Amino acid sequence: MRILIIGVGTLGDVAPYAGLGARLREAGHEVTIAAHQPYTKPATDADLDIVPLPGDPLSALTGRFSLSAYREYSDHLVEGLAGLAEHDADLLLLGAAGALGRHVAEAMGVPSMGVHLQPIDPTGDFPPIMSVFRRSLGRWGNRTAARLTFEVPVAGPMIAGLSARMRARLGLPPTTPRVLYRNRERTRWPVFHGVSPRVLPRPADWRPGLEITGYWWPPRPRNWQPDPMLLDFLASGTAPVFVGFGSLAEWRAEQYTELAVQALRRAGLRGVLQTGPRGLVSDDVLAIGDVPHDWLFPRMAAVAHHCGSGTTGNGVRAGVPAVAVPVMNDQPFWASRLTALGVAPAAIPYRRLTPARLAAALTTAVTDRAYRQRARALAVQISAEDGAAPVIDAVDRLHVTHRPK
């Protein structure tokens, strides 16, 4: 089948789809990934075809959530996604942030499936993770709040307006979020979640068609070799700790770097930073660029990160303790899962992050052997999973019943 994966988001969002796409290609399918231009590298590294989307979601996130930044990004998003309807595809695979792609699939007359990195469907187990709710509202309250984010989006007219604009742009009849959601549930629209069931057990109250499959690991770039400076640094002393905050680190690189350096000095630890400019910051701190986490993390004593879904997955895969510093969106949820699994001390929300707090958490993660023991045990379990296999099976079954045009 000709498969189009819509990977709206930043680098950490696109990388798992590159891993899934590579496996689908190995299974005999033609795979293209639609992603924002600044974040297509994982798909390029996987030798997948790319359709660049205009705009940059990071501009909306770092624009202090200003209405003008949101509107500019949403304009780009609507036009970029609507343009995908002109491409040849037999199946669309949609991330949670690319939910508008269901309108594209409808306009193209092809089926679609969800390939989510976050569990957004209603459950009593936890409140909606992309909302302002951080504490449980009770089982009924959690389910109701999550359902309302589909039927009456929290962002109100802005989100509903995107859907209406998309349908008008594609020549589709108008509808409402409630009708779209009820149709989604009536047809049991399939959604596969690229996260380990060891990290996120499948909620027992989920309807059929919602599955937790295991992580989708991106392939390492072809012919990639570590920088000699990094190899020398790793060999020159005890295992360092990793400190990185994802794509947002580029927004305030100097601030993130200075805070991390102060924390490492307080804790007396060596560090590898992914927060800004590259090179030796001091004898005990090295700042690096883009290094595959599957290679880097197992060589660390601990990893401190923002708890994006992909980085969280790479951390638990490596079998090393974590220090969770969530910033926004789904990150507090994944931070809470790391703490619940016993592989990380209590999370430090970014707004409360100080050198002293980061130093204390790093010291705890490195010196308390229980965190490493639990992290290693979890990594062994995760290594036995094949998260792409259930998606490939579903696509193959669809190929039998839905012949490509």
CATH number at residue 205: 3.40.50.2000
Domain count, the chain: 2
Domain identity same for 394 and 301? no
Three-class SS string for 45-67? HCCCEEEEECCCHHHHHCCCCCH
Q: pTM of the full predicted structure?
A: 0.92
Q: At 327, is the pLDDT very low, low, confident or very high (cuts 50, 70, 90)? A: confident
User: Who has greater pLDDT, 248 or 83?
Assistant: 83
pLDDT above 60 for 32: yes
Average pLDDT over residues 330-344: 95
pLDDT in the model for residue 7: 92
The answer to whether residue 147 sits within a structural domain is: no
Q: Are 273 and 211 members of one domain?
A: no
Tokens of 377: 């045990």
To the nearest whole percent, how much of the chain has pLDDT over 90?
68
If you average pLDDT over residues 151-176, what whole number do you get?
A: 76
Instruction: State how beta strands 210-212 and 49-53 pair.
Output: unpaired
pLDDT in tens, 64-83: 456 677 778 888 889 999 99
Average pLDDT over residues 182-194: 95
Q: Give the CA count within 13 Å in the CB-facing half-sphere of 99.
A: 21
Distance (Å, rounded) from C-alpha 379 to C-alpha 95?
Answer: 25
Q: Are 113 and 239 in a shared domain?
A: no
Name residue 50's beta-bridge partners.
33
For range 101-123, the mean pLDDT: 95
| Cα radius of gyration (the chain) | 21
Q: Residue 281: pLDDT band by 50, 70, 90 thresholds?
A: confident
Among candidates 353, 334, 351, which has minimal Cα distance to 343?
Answer: 334
Sorting pLDDT into bands at 50, 70 and 90, what band is 132? low
pLDDT score of 157: 44
Residue 251 has pLDDT above 80, yes or no: no
Beta carbons within 8 Å of 321's beta carbon, 6+ residues apart: 301, 302, 303, 343, 344, 365, 366, 368, 371, 372, 375
Same domain, 176 and 70: yes
- The whole domain housing 329 covers 228-383
Same-domain status, 368 and 397: no
Neighbours of 66 (CB within 10 A): 11
Average pLDDT rounded to a whole number, residues 341-368: 95
Task: Provide the edge-to-edge strand list for the sheet that holds 112-116.
Answer: 49-53, 30-36, 2-6, 91-94, 112-116, 191-193, 210-212
